[in-house]
Structure 1
Amino acid sequence: MPDPAILSGTGTGKLVVVDPYSSGSALARRAKELYGLDSIAVLTSQTLPTALLATYPAEDFVAELRYTDVLTTARALEALCGGRPGHLICGSEPGVEAYDQLAAHWGMRPNTGSSQARRDKFLMQERLRDAGVRYIPHHLAEDIESAVEWCAASGLDEYVVKPVKSFATDGVFFCSSPDEVRAACEKLFGRDDIAGELITQVLVQERMVGTEFVVDSVSLDGSAFVVNMFRYAKETVAGNPVYRAMSSVDVGDYPGIVLYVEQVLEALGIENGPAHSELILTEDGPVLIETGARMHGGLGPRLVEESSSHSVIDLTLASRVAPDEFDRLTQAQPSLWRGVIECFLSAQTGGVVVANRVWEVCRELDSYLFDTCGQVPGDHIEKTTDLITSCGRVVLAHADPGVLERDLERVLEMDRRGTLVEVVPGA
């Protein structure tokens, strides 16, 4: 860690980013470009997946701290900054509660209500119910029999079982019978979740039927601005949901979803900063799967940059650093200037890569923008069972929706045949 003497400027010139992983890794560099701010990283966990930890750009930060408790961490940050930091932001899902504690400690536009309800999916659904906002029928199980008994008595046809703090589809199971619920619980109880916490509770819910959307928003002083929407396509693999595509849609086409998300944010007390809401549009209207009090993870914000009039990253920073700029940027409603699709590649089996033809083949597509598939022969990859184990992304962008849909089908068909990333099964 650098000596405090080498940290330039005063406390008001520092941005603290809690868990700058995934898309949050872009915040420090962009804050330097837009506002000339130096950034300090606060890291809350050492047990996150290697792939997530690898996204942390340590070179973009003038210092880093390990979060212990709010008072100790706040004092350490004040020592580094020569006083209270000027700005504070949450970078990714594992840091939500630590961020909330620091924001409340310093009175830096904190969100309100229970911080736990912005991480714990059971408490999240309870907050919606208490606020009179549509929610999913659910049950909190602390043992296997409790989960099975609730399902058997519910009269429902299908269920979702997941850890209460699940993210990136970790530990999510789709089940069609109490016996499948039992099997899912046996796989979950007693193991660690994706953030390294022991699973002692699981959420059991009705599986909702409809089209799944993700909605990104940024708020300031209780006023929410919906920046963008995407529509998900998923497949079920051995009971687990696996992402296949995420396609941009125009915010203006779904006013009912915008209104519902605003109600969700109010119920959850997300009054300042970014939020990432996933929901199902059913025949009866939208209903929330979950909301994260942070930006869309992964490539999401970059895809918005490639297709929309507005930037999730810039609005997120403005909401915490420059409120007047936020007000200016949100005067106009967002609009798409072209469509964009993120294709999620899926390894049908774990094993050793013998060929990677993604760039060679996909660059010939009319809508090809870029890919993230850097595997080389000899690399080992896991079978895809969730978002983290996807073996890469191919991103398409084009003004013609027909071209996008045609190229999406080509990518997914080649991926299903195993011709993009060829793998020999085994270790």
Structure 2
Amino acid sequence: MPDAPDTKTLVVVDPYSSGSVFARRAKERYGLDAIAVLTSQTLPPSLLASHPRQDFAAELRFSDVARTAAEIERLCGGRRPDHLVCGSEPGVEVYDALAAHWGMRPNSGPSEARRDKFLMQARLRDAGVPYIPHHKASDTESLVRWCADSGLAEYVVKPVKSFATDGVFFCSTPDEVRSACDRLFGRTALTGEVITELLVQERLVGPEYVVDSVSLDGTPFVVDMFRYTKETIDGTPVYRAMTAVEVGDHPGIVAYVERALAALGIDNGPAHSELVLTERGPVLIETGARMHGGLGPTLVEESSTHSLIDLTLASRVAPEDYLDGTRVRPSLRRGVVECFLFSPVAGVVAANRVKDACGGLDSYLFDTCPQVPGDRVEKTTDLITSYGRVVLAHADRERLARDVERVLDLDRRGALLDVVAD
């Protein structure tokens, strides 16, 4: 770290996925040097690879709050850092602990309820916010009995700290619940933890939305909203498209998210809330106390009047900039859609036609499909194993919709990537 006494520092906890942008943006906008705190060595390689080490003045691994805080303070010349932000989902609890340790606009209530989906739903229930009927257990038969006694038609089984759709199964019979449990108990999750507890919930029916917000001192501001399109592959939900929608067209969703954030104690910083608009109104699936992962923030930059990245950073670094940036409600400058591509098999790439097939579309913006012949791809079972994205943007919504259907049709037919199965 530089020795200059006026050097200010930003600590980023787990600077992965979309959180990898914070160090560079903080340097550009505020002249801050950044320290990375890494909480796990067992995350998926693709996630670990997104950490931009070159953007950080220092890096350390989390041990416990006291020792990690002391090491950070040593790097900062014997004082606490100036600012702190959470980069991605695995770092939420460590981020909360460090924010509380230094009194840096910490969130309220139990941090565990911002990661553990069972505790999350219980917080909603206790606050009188619509929630999903749910049950947690460490054995299969308890979960099967709850389903049999619930009177529900369909269920979702998943790890209590699942993210990126890891280990999520849709079930409609006790045998399917039992099969999901057999596949999950004892498995290592994306977080690197062995799965010893599972959550079973009612499967909600209705359109699914994701809502990104940023809060300051208990007042949230909804920055953007997307609608998901998913398909079910082998009992697991797989993302197919994420379409930007106008925040102002959904006041009921905005009001519900504000109630959910209050119940979960997300008073400061970003939140990424996924919900289903059921017949009885919005119901939360889960909220992450961090910025939208993956390409989400980039899509907001490409389509909206507001920047999710800049507002997230300002809420932690420059509250006056946050207040200035939230005076006007966001609106879309143009439509944008992220198409998620999937491989039905694991194997070796024989040909990549993504650019040739999609690059000429009127709304083509970019893709994330660098595979060349000889590269390996996995069978797509979740967001992490999707082999890439095609992002489309256009002011003409009908033209955009036609291009989306074209991309997804090509992908379903296997016309974008030739894979020789194992």
- Name the TM-score class by shorter chain: over 0.9
2:12 to 13, 17, 32: 17
Q: Deviations over 1:165-201 (max 9, x none)?
A: 0000000000011110000001111111110011111
Q: Is the 8 A contact 2:7 2:33 kept in 1?
A: no
Aligned match of 2:75: 80
2:408 to 399, 412, 427: 412
Unaligned runs of 5+ in 2: none
1:389 to 382, 385, 390: 385
1:351 to 332, 347, 354: 347
Q: Percent identity?
A: 72
Q: Classify 1:87/1:11 alpha carbon distance in 2 versus 1 (closer, same or farther; 3 Å).
A: farther
1:285 to 281, 285, 308: 281
SS state at 1:291 partner: strand
Residues 392-401 or 185-194, more deviating: 185-194
Aligned match of 2:164: 168
Q: Displacement, 1:284?
A: 1.0
SS state at 1:306 partner: helix
Q: Which letter does structure 1 place at the counterpart of 2:43? A: L
1:256 paired with 2:256, answer no
5 Å matches for 1:307-346? 307-346=303-342
Q: Is the 8 A contact 1:214 1:232 kept in 2?
A: yes
2:294 to 295, 298, 308: 298
Q: Displacement, 1:9?
A: 3.6
- CA–CA distance in 1 between the matches of 2:130 and 2:147? 20
Q: Which letter does structure 2 place at the counterpart of 1:44? A: T
- How many pairs does the alignment contain? 421
- CA–CA distance in 2 between the matches of 1:292 and 1:110? 15
Aligned match of 1:195: 191
- CA–CA distance in 2 between the matches of 1:146 and 1:127? 22
SS state at 1:102 partner: helix
Where does structure 1 differ by over 3 angstroms across 4 or more consecutive aligned residues? 8-12
Aligned match of 1:95: 91
1:127 paired with 2:103, answer no
Q: Deviations over 1:307-358 (max 9, x none)?
A: 0000010000100000011000000100000000000001011111000011
- CA–CA distance in 2 between the matches of 1:152 and 1:9? 65
Aligned match of 1:229: 225
Aligned match of 1:56: 51
Unaligned runs of 5+ in 1: 1-5
Aligned match of 1:147: 143
- With normalisation by structure 2, the TM-score equals 0.99
Q: Which letter does structure 1 place at the counterpart of 2:393? A: A
Q: Classify 1:285/1:12 alpha carbon distance in 2 versus 1 (closer, same or farther; 3 Å).
A: farther
Q: Displacement, 1:8?
A: 4.4
Q: Which letter does structure 2 place at the counterpart of 1:388? A: I
Q: Which letter does structure 2 place at the counterpart of 1:177? A: T
- CA–CA distance in 1 between the matches of 2:5 and 2:271? 29
1:269 paired with 2:265, answer yes
Q: How large is the RMSD of aligned CA atoms in angstroms?
A: 0.8
1:117 paired with 2:133, answer no
Q: Which letter does structure 2 place at the counterpart of 1:217? A: S
